[in-house]
């Protein structure tokens, strides 16, 4: 079955960086994009961006340009998101999700990781 | 960005009842609308895409409808396992955007 296994919770200091992983299994990794989504109690769900797992090409929501960097390792079917210059506003649960690449599935997220909690505190 | 306005914010209903959740887009999204269910402490799961197409394995008591800017999710014969937060999401334009969620509880 399709599974996305994310790395564990992170506690980070303001100004530092964290890198979250998302290991996919149960399907052909390069047939789908991987999206990243931020969830907070106050702001709900926000779309960060996606990576084309075949080409490594990326799209970032304007709001997250400079904050998030998406990469992929096809050999291990793993996607990564690095968050830099962390502030308390980056405290959230971050999800990776398998994402369709053609209409009507474009930007439709049909399998999600379990989420990775990131807490930014001094 | 396209704004998605979801209502109501919370909903309480009895077992066996039918409930409807609404989602209004700030512009025409041409049926490019998905619904997700997030059970307590879990990650969101896709229920419906393209406004009315049921994702694999989703019970038939869930249905979606709508067009243009107005969409709805209907849950027939409410069951205890339906306690969740439900989100709509437009996938018509970049960036995809989500509604603020509807929290469904059982009376």
Per-residue pLDDT tens digits of chain A, which is 122 residues long: 999 999 999 999 999 999 999 999 999 999 999 999 999 987 799 999 999 999 999 999 999 999 999 999 999 999 999 999 999 999 999 999 999 988 888 899 999 999 999 999 99
pLDDT, tens only, B53-88: 999 999 999 999 999 999 999 999 999 999 999 999
Q: Which of B42, B96, B101 sits opposite A107 (nearest CB)?
A: B96
Beta-bridge mates of residue B93 = none
Best residue in A47, A107, A115, A116 for a mutation probing chain B (most B CBs within 10 Å): A107
Assigned token pair, B1: 């960005």
Chain B residues lying within 8 Å of A62, measured CB to CB: 95
Q: Measuring CA to CA, which residue among B21, B97, B101, B103 is closest to residue B65?
A: B21
Largest CA distance in chain B: 38
Task: Say what the alpha-carbon torsion angle B74, B79, B83, B88 is, to the nearest 10 degrees.
Answer: -20
**Chain A residue at shortest CA distance from B91:** A107
**Under 8 Å between Cβ of A15 and A85:** yes
Which positions ≥6 away from A16 have C-beta within 8 Å? Answer: A86
Query: Which residue, chain included where needed, has tokens 């969740």?
Result: B84
């Amino acid at each position: 079955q399709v599974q996305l296994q994310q790395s564990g919770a992170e506690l980070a200091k303001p100004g530092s960086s964290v890198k979250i992983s998302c290991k996919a299994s149960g399907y052909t990794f390069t047939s789908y994009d991987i999206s990243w989504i931020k969830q907070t109690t106050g702001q709900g769900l926000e779309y960060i961006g996606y990576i084309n797992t075949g080409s490594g090409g990326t799209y970032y929501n304007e709001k997250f340009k400079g904050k998030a960097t998406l990469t992929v390792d096809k050999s291990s079917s793993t996607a990564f998101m690095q968050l830099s210059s962390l502030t308390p506003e980056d405290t959230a649960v971050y999800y990776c999700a398998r994402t369709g690449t053609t209409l009507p599935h474009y930007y439709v997220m049909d399998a999600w990781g379990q989420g990775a909690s990131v807490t930014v505190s001094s | 960005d396209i704004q998605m306005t979801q209502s109501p914010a919370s909903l309480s209903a009895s077992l066996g009842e039918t409930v409807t959740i609404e989602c209004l887009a700030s512009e025409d999204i041409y049926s490019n609308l998905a619904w997700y269910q997030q059970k307590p402490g879990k990650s969101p799961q896709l229920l419906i895409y393209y406004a009315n197409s049921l994702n694999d394995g989703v019970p038939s008591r869930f249905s979606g409808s709508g067009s243009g800017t107005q969409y709805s999710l209907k849950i027939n014969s409410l069951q205890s396992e339906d306690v969740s937060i439900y989100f709509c999401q437009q996938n018509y334009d970049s960036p995809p955007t989500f509604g603020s969620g509807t929290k469904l509880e059982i009376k």
